[in-house]
Amino acid sequence: MKTVIVGGGACGAGCAARLRRLDEKAEIIILEATDEISIANCGLPYYCSGVISSRDDMIVAKPHIFSGLLNIDVRLNSKVTSINPAQKTVTVNNNYELTYDNLVLALGASPVKPPIAGIHNKKIFTVRTLSDADRIKHYIKSTSAKNAVVIGGGFIGVEMAENFLEMGLNTTLAEAAPQILTPFDSDMVCFAQNELKDKGCKLILNNGVKAFKEDTIELSSGDAIPYDIAILGIGVKPETKIAEDAGITLGIHGSIKVNEYMQTSIQNIWAGGDSVEVIDFVSGTPSLIPLAGPANRQGRIIADNICGKNQTYKGSQGTCVIKVFDRTLASVGLNEKQLEARGIKYLKNIVMCSSHAGYYPNAKFMTIKLLFTPEGKILGAQSTGYEGVEKRIDVISTVMRLNGKVEDLTDLELCYAPPYSSAKDPVNLLGMSSQNILDGLFKPAFYEDLKDAVIIDVRPCADYEISNVEGALSIPGGEIRKRLDEIPKDKKVVLHCRRGYTSYVASRILSGFGYINVYSLCGGKLLYDEITKDREPQFAGV
């Protein structure tokens, strides 16, 4: 059996290694268009800044591992220019042909470069390969660049902005959309945006690029920002030309359409990684979710199926995490915008709790948001904080994968010791609080619900005097029962405390006295302050 794999990234390299472990006799050839194979693409921003100092460390599996231990024929600088399915051949570098029994397309994706005036300026770079990072490092050093601009607020864009700041460059991040990091809703991404601004990044939102000039970048608003180096982080598009030319069916996103076995529309041709259309695990709809973890799994599944093991890919959840200086943000499933676009009805909840036991030193606040159906099915979750964030999202992701519900989050038995968690882990608390919503024990309110509501601050008076929500009345939680005459029954009432617990208890008290239009502000004033801070203008002129 002869398998030709086109592409040496996560999917292609993983497929080749699994094939060898399953079949010692198989002939395996990897054709990689560049001079790099199995590199750590996700680490490139950190290599640019020197956080990862060794270039060698960026190569996950060295070529000699493939040729020696695995006995795989790796051919670098070998671009497949056409596929002939009828003859079961591929043409390489327009020069020679190779036959195959099975062909694996792990074509990956390429950075988006829109037709903007001046986009081919030598100061403008993309970050996709190790060679890209080498060029960026050399350019900054050789030109003594001082002003860096990142175009696009996706994961790579945000990471590049952070690493430019770590290098001491004056850094601007410009995003055409209203926010960065689209997997997150605005009430969660505000933490990342504030973190960037606090660390010195000039963050420009709702303002795309009109033109790249020699020394400045002209924005849609007409403002101009100086730059010595610019990074395009607008996104990626699947590489599919040779597949399309060969007659392979493409999906609605322009990516390669595959079935659950990772087979394309043509027999003996398989595809995986960033160039394929996958099924979204939550909605069951075709999606494009280019992530390294799924790409690795798809490569393994392809290898298994080539060897007759009959494995299926069960959809992508979009589980992801990003470091923004000291803060972490993680997400799984769909967010509010995505649910609304698909017409999926949902409820939501936000809890703010300690990363570990509050009595153990250095506990930090963690914010977790849950989206779920009225029947308790989990649709998505987002979290941010300083420690243990990704652990909690991983737990929720696992529950989702096993078709668990909100009530299952309550029942989870998770590790507890004071330095790591609390007896009620944040995931347990999220489940309990969300179950209370489903059971009708409290009505959640959010930042957008404050308008036209009677707002009551149930924190101690001393806290109210220091800082309060505009228009809020001060009725400490312990005084609620004595001051019922100050709380209207014929209006919407939103209670808030520091982070959401006392206001929940106060809402239960009022419910016991017959109040039916009372809400508790999820995340409390801590989240309110974060959202408010994010909405303040950072600096004049933009």
Residues with active-site annotation:
42
User: What residues contact residue 377 under an 8 Å CB cut-off, 6+ apart?
Assistant: 405
Compute the residue count for the chain. Answer: 542
- Taken in order 49, 51, 56, 62, the sign of the CA dihedral is negative
| Cα atoms in the 13 Å half-sphere on the side-chain side of 500 | 28
Tell me the pairing of strands 454-457 and 473-474. Answer: parallel
The distance of Cα 435 from the centroid of its chain, to the nearest Å, equals 26
For 78-105, letters b (16+ CB in 10 Å) and e give bebeebebeebbbbbeeeeebebebbbb
Distance between CA 165 and CA 507 in Å, rounded? Answer: 45
Distance between CA 18 and CA 39 in Å, rounded? Answer: 18
Q: Which two tokens stand for residue 441?
A: 């024990």
Cα 178 to Cα 55, 182, 381: the distances in Å are: 36, 10, 21
Cα 311 to Cα 15, 102, 254, 304, 402: the distances in Å are: 13, 16, 25, 6, 17
Distance between CA 404 and CA 96 in Å, rounded? Answer: 52
Say which DSSP state 468 is in: -
Q: Which two tokens stand for residue 496?
A: 């808030």
Say which DSSP state 341 is in: H
